[in-house]
Amino acid sequence: MKKDLHPKNYRMVVFKDMSNGTSFLSKSTAVTNETVVFEEDGKEYPVIKLEISNTSHPFYTGKNVLVDTAGRIDKFNKRFGKKTAPTAAPAEKTAE
């Protein structure tokens, strides 16, 4: 096996799921400048923000939840949605 392959600078980090607000504490080497106070022990840790985790992913929850974090559905409908023809203004009547 190769020596010194894995990083040595693991530290405790809070991972926060931004879609439902849940947080969990784990070891990581990810770099971040933000910190948060973890509710369970009251200590301050670096925080990594996640768009989706096991607490909000449909595979783990068993629910089909629509997660639209960046307006992807609106963007899709704008690009590929049904095009409606503009309605024409009624013709003006002329006196004869």
88 falls within a domain: no
Q: How far apart are CA 61 and CA 31, in angstroms?
A: 29
Using DSSP, state whether 73 is helix, strand or coil: helix
21 falls within a domain: yes
Q: Which two tokens stand for residue 81?
A: 């949605």
Q: Please count the structural domains in the chain.
A: 1
40 falls within a domain: yes
- To which residue do tokens 């989706």 refer? 52
The letter for the amino acid at 37 is: V
Give me the sheet containing 11-17, strands edge to edge: 23-28, 11-17, 44-50, 35-37
At 7 the pLDDT is: 86
Expressed as residue numbers, the domain containing 44 is 11-66
Average pLDDT over residues 72-83: 77
79 falls within a domain: no
At 57 the pLDDT is: 66
Give the model confidence (pLDDT) of 1-52 as tens digits: 788 888 888 999 999 988 888 899 999 999 999 999 998 899 999 999 988 7
